[in-house]
Amino acid sequence: MQRFNNYCINFLNRTKSRSKQVIYLLILVAEVVVVAAVVEIVVVVVVVEVVVVVVVVVVVVVEVVVVVVVVVVVVVVVVVVVVVVVVVVVVVVVVVVKVVVVVVVVVVVVAAAAAAAAAEVEVVVVVVVVVVVVVVVEVVVVVVVVVVVVVVVVVVVVVVVVVVEEEVVVAAVVVIVVVVEVVVVVVVVVVVVVVVVVVVVVVVVVVVVVVVVVIV
- Specify the length of the chain in residues: 216
Over its length of 216 residues, how does the chain's per-residue pLDDT go in tens digits? 566 566 656 665 665 666 666 666 666 666 666 666 666 666 666 666 766 667 667 766 766 766 666 666 667 666 766 766 676 677 667 667 766 766 666 666 666 666 656 655 565 566 667 666 766 776 777 777 777 767 776 776 666 666 555 556 666 666 666 666 666 666 666 666 666 666 666 666 665 555 555 555
| Domains of the chain: total | 1
Domain that holds residue 138: 3-215
Query: What is the reported pTM?
Result: 0.39
pLDDT in the model for residue 151: 74
HEC secondary structure over 123-185: HHHHHHHHHHHHHHHHHHHHHHHHHHHHHHHHHHHHHHHHHCCHHHHHHHHHHHHHHHHHHHH
